[in-house]
Every structure is written in C-alpha cells, then in structure tokens.
Structure 1
Amino acid sequence: MINIIWFLILVSSIIFGLITGSGEVISKSIVDSTASTVKLMINLVGMMCLWCGVMRIAQESGLTEKLGKILRPVLEKLFTKAGKDKKAMGAIIMNLTANMMGLSNAATPFGIKAMEEMQRLNTKKDTASNDMALFLVLNAACIQFVPTSVISIRAACNSQNPGAIIIPAILTTGTSALVGIIICKILQKHF
C-alpha cells in the first residue's frame, strides 16, 4: 500500500510541475538529487567501514561480553521463560549488546537465533509469546551507546560535530526502551 501512495505522490508532483510549466526545474532537480545521493553513499561507505572496524575492536576486546554480563541479571527478570533457558538468553544478550554498540549487522543473526530459541520454548506455535513480543520491542527500541549510522550520515553531510548525537540518542533510545518494557509488561497482565 505504501508503494502505491509514494507512486501517486511522485506522479501527481510531476504532472503538477509539467502543468505549471516547471518541467525544466523538475529535470534539474532529479539530476542534482541523484548526483548528491551517489556522493553521499560513497562518503557513507567509508564512514561505515571505519565504524565497523571500531565496533569489531570493541567486540574482540570483550567489551560487548562485559556489557552482556551486566545485562544478564536484568534480562533474566524481564524474560519469564527465556530467562531460564541458557541458549535463548545467550542469543538475546548477544543481540542486544551488539545493537547497543552499533553493530546492527552483527546483531541480526543473533536476533534471528533468539527468536528461534524462544519459538522452541513457545507452547502456542502459531502465536508469539510474551517473551517474543518483549524481545521485538527491545530489539526495535534498543539503547544506542554508539549510534554509528547516524554519526556516519552526519559526518558525510559535513556536520560540524557528528558525535553530538550520542547523548540525545542514549536518552531517546533509553526512554523508548523503558516505555516499551512498561507497556509490554502491562499488556502481558491483560492478554
């Protein structure tokens, strides 16, 4: 449905531009935006390589494991069934710590593994368990200590201080994760 909406917006804009005699402006805008997009992508690839390297060092140095040890007692209380299962809890911790450190590429396989392990524990195979719903919320609203993607985009767009986003990102992602947990726990009692 969203594809249809975007298509209609694009076509109606082009038709309106042609009717009002702005065809030349439309053509120039299309060429300029595609050129700037390619330039941004090239800059972004370099920045992402740098951050992936930094995050790999954090992973290899054991920083993500130390963060996982801190999180384990809290997560075991939050996840009722998965908190008692070593395999499920291990995958959950690895996913969340990788996301917190900005390693979203590395977090994805752990997220899939965590869902598989929680599905193994699920008694209703056709319905997501409370733990699965909570994990999905935490995965989507994960606290970002190092928001590498946003920092990279800001640096590629010549921001004066690309790292200025770190504290606001920690506050907003922390708030959204906390609100998500609270809502999940409230809904778990009623459904």
Structure 2
Amino acid sequence: MVNLIWLLMLAIGIIVAALTGHIENVTVSAMKAAELGVEVAIELIGVMSLWLGLMRLAEDAGLVKGIARIFGPVIGRLFPSLKPESPALGAIIMNMSANILGLGNAATPFGLKAMEELQKENPTPDVASPAMCTFLALNTSCITLIPATIIGVRLKANSVNATEIIGTTIIATGCAMTVAIFVDFLIRYRRKK
C-alpha cells in the first residue's frame, strides 16, 4: 500500500510539472536529492562504523553478558519465557542499547540476531512466539535518549541547533515504549484467560 501511495505521489508530481511547463525542476530536484542522499550516507558510515565496532568489542569482551545480568530482572519481566542464560538476551540488550542511542542502523544486526536466537527457542516455528512479539514491540518503540543518527543528519543539513530535538524525542519515544509494553502485557494477560 505504501508503495502505491509513493508511486501515485511521484506520478502526480511529474504530470503536474509537465502540464505547468516545469518538468526540468523534477529532473534537477531528483539529481540534487540523489546527490544529498549519497553525501549523507557516506558521512554516516563513520558514525555507524564507530558504534558497530564498539558494540562488537563490548560483545567480545563479555560486557554484553554483564549488562544482561544487570538488566536481567527487567528483561525477565518483559520476556518471562526466556531462561536467564538464553543467548537471545545479549542480542536483545545490544539491540535496545543501540536504539536508546538512536543508532537504528547499528541496532539492526543485533535485532536480526535476537530474532534468530528467539526462533531457535520457539516451540512452534511457524508462529511467532510471545517473546518474539514482545521484542518486536520493544524494537519498534524503544525509547531514544540520544538520537545520534538524526543529530548527524541535522548537522549535515546545517541545522543551527541540531540537538534541540532531544527533549521531544525522549518524550515521544518514552510514550511509545510505555504504550508498547502496556499493550504487550494486556495481550499476554488476555491470552492466558
């Protein structure tokens, strides 16, 4: 459905530009947007490489397991079906850490690893387990304390105050995560009945 909406918006824009005699603006805008996209992507490679490297070092040094033990009680309440020694917990913790720091691209590999580990523990492989559903809800709504990627994009776009979004980001993502946890518990409670 989203693809159809984008296609319609693009087609309508091109048709209107052609009818009004401004078709060259479409070409110029498309080229400028493509150039900006490449520039931003290249500049973000450094930031993403740094965080992915730090995350990998933390994983290899055993920091992930240590953090998993510290946050064990909270994670235990969120994922009651997982055992404390579950390999999925480390990937979940790292995914959430990257999301909290606003590094969505760095969180993706850990999210994939977490789902892979959760699938290994899934008693019914054809259906998502409650732990998988909970993780998906947390992953998509995780609170973001430092929206590093967005701040980087804003800096690249010459924003006067690139960090002014931190407060509203914390409030918005905090509300989203609270609702996700509440709905997850509500659905889980209703299923037990």
Pick the TM interval, shorter chain. Answer: 0.7 to 0.9
Distance in 1 between residues matched to 2:33 and 2:6, nearest whole Å = 21
SS at match of 1:125: coil
Deviates more, 1:27-36 or 1:162-171: 27-36
Q: Which residue is 1:14 aligned to?
A: 14
Per the alignment, residue 95 of structure 2 pairs with 95
Give, in whole Å, the separation in 1 of the partners of 2:35 and 2:190. Answer: 50
Q: What amino acid sits opposite 2:13 in the alignment?
A: S
Structure 1 runs (4+) greater than 4 angstroms displaced = 54-62, 64-70
Report the alpha carbon displacement of residue 70 of structure 1 after superposing the two structures with TM: 4.4
Of all paired residues, the percent bearing the same amino acid is 34
Distance 2:121 2:40 in 1: 44
1:35 partnered with 2:32: yes
Cα-to-partner distance string for 1:28-59 (whole Å, 9 max, x where unaligned): 24303422541354145325524643675587
Closer/same/farther in 2, CA of residues 27 and 70 from structure 1, 3 Å limit: farther
Q: TM-score, normalised by structure 2?
A: 0.80
CA apart distance, 1:72: 2.6
The reply to whether residue 75 of structure 1 matches residue 75 of structure 2 is: yes
**Superposed CA RMSD:** 2.8
Distance in 1, Cα, partners of 2:120 & 2:37: 43
Map of 1:8-157 to 2, 5 A cutoff?
Answer: 8-19=8-19, 22-23=20-21, 25-39=22-36, 41-43=38-40, 45-50=42-47, 52-53=49-50, 56=53, 65=64, 68=68, 70-157=70-157
Change in Cα spacing, 1:179 to 1:51, as seen in structure 2 (3 Å) is same
Distance 1:58 1:12, change over 3 A: closer
| Stretches of structure 2 lacking an aligned partner (at least 5 in a row) | none
**Residues 142-172 of structure 1, C-alpha deviations (whole Å, 9 max, x = no match):** 1222212211111111111111122221221
Once residues 101 and 67 of structure 1 are traced to their aligned partners in structure 2, the CA distance between those partners, rounded to angstroms, is 15
Q: How many residues align?
A: 187
The alignment's TM-score, normalised by the length of structure 1, stands at 0.80
Q: Could you report, residue by residue, the CA deviation over 1:60-112 in whole angstroms, capped at 9, with x for unpaired residues?
A: 588x7576554332111110112544312222112211222234343222222
Q: Which residue does the alignment assign to 1:173?
A: 173
Which ranges in structure 1 are unaligned for 5 or more consecutive residues? none
